[in-house]
């Protein structure tokens, strides 16, 4: 949702942007973000939601960005059972609409009739997500929640606070390299590697920059793996499962 609002503001120089909560023809709840901005050529629409796609990609382009926001938004919505549609006209503006899935009534009845289960201690491995984008934090929580406990930090200082306040040992770290702070993900990784408790903790670098030199810098800083954004759930879980036993063995 935040990406849609930011895009509406960024690409609108005259007029404005509006947000509307409504139901579509099927009765599903929808949120629409409409603007009076530059609009999108219809020929570009098939590539609009692909990673790194930008309608204006030349050196004279007016608007900054990596072309990842809409791709990540679509990925998160799909994980939630929702989908995204767009109506646009070049020079007249665009309307992006999120269509949320309707809950099954039979499922609600079954859930309400099910007796509460006794609570047990959660012994699943603990993953620290260091990510300054709230939408990406939510996406990663959704990807990992069925297999791991997750705590998230939005900055290096926040990460250190989470580490010190966590009663459990952190088994793996997902590190965004492009933290928009004076200390980036590479610097934070080097700092953690100097601490005895994190000498062998697996750290996976997450970044929108996928060049070979970016991978080499991440590995040299102490990361164990490198995954370029946007990534799919199977690729991320595979990397975590491959590295996780090392951390669990060191904590025993």
Higher pLDDT, 14 or 173: 173
From CA 192, how far away is CA 153, in angstroms rounded? 14
Beta strands per DSSP E along 161-220: 172-176, 203-207
From CA 66, how far away is CA 139, in angstroms rounded? 18
Of the chain, the percentage scoring pLDDT greater than 90 comes to: 44
From CA 203, how far away is CA 133, in angstroms rounded? 18
CATH (residue range 2-99) = 3.30.565.10
Q: Supply the pTM of this predicted model.
A: 0.60
Higher pLDDT, 190 or 247: 190
Stretch among 7-21, 101-115, 147-161, 182-196 having the lowest mean pLDDT: 101-115
List pLDDT tens digits, range 44-82. 887 777 765 555 544 444 444 445 667 777 777 887 788
- Is 170 in contact with 161 (CB distance < 8 Å)? no
Task: Single out the residue of 173, 174, 220, 177 nearest to residue 201, CA to CA.
Answer: 173
List pLDDT tens digits, range 107-152. 555 555 666 666 667 789 999 999 998 888 988 998 999 999 999 9
Predicted local distance difference test score (pLDDT) of residue 58: 44
Task: Tell me the domain boundaries of the chain.
Answer: 2-99, 126-251
Can the peptide bond before residue 230 be classed as cis, meaning omega within 30 degrees of 0? yes
SS3 4: helix
Higher pLDDT, 105 or 42: 42
Q: Which CATH number fits domain 126-251: 3.40.50.620, 1.20.120.1760, 3.40.50.2300, 3.40.50.300?
A: 3.40.50.2300
Is the pLDDT at 225 greater than 50, yes or no?
Answer: yes
């Amino acid at each position: 949702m935040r990406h849609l609002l930011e895009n509406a503001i960024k690409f609108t120089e005259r007029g404005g942007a509006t947000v509307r909560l409504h139901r579509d023809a099927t009765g599903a709840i929808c949120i629409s973000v409409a603007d009076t901005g530059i609009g999108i050529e219809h020929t570009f629409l098939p590539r609009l939601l692909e990673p790194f796609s930008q309608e204006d990609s030349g050196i004279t382009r007016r608007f900054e960005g990596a072309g990842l926001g809409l791709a990540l938004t679509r990925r998160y919505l799909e994980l939630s059972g929702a989908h995204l549609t767009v109506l646009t006209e070049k020079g007249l503006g665009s309307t992006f609409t999120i269509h949320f899935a309707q809950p099954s009534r039979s499922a609600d009845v079954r859930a309400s009739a099910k007796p509460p289960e006794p609570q047990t201690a959660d012994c699943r491995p603990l993953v620290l997500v260091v990510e300054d984008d709230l939408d990406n934090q939510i996406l990663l929580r959704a990807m990992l929640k069925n297999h791991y406990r997750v705590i998230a930090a939005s900055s290096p200082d926040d990460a250190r606070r989470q580490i010190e306040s966590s009663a459990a040992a952190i088994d793996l770290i997902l590190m965004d390299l492009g933290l928009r702070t004076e200390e980036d993900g590479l610097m934070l990784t080097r700092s953690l590697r100097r601490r005895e408790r994190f000498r062998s903790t697996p750290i996976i670098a997450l970044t929108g920059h996928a060049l070979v030199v970016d991978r080499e810098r991440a590995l040299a800083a102490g990361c164990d793996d490198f995954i370029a954004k946007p990534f799919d759930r199977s690729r991320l879980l595979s990397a975590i499962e491959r590295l996780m036993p090392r951390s669990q063995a060191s904590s025993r």
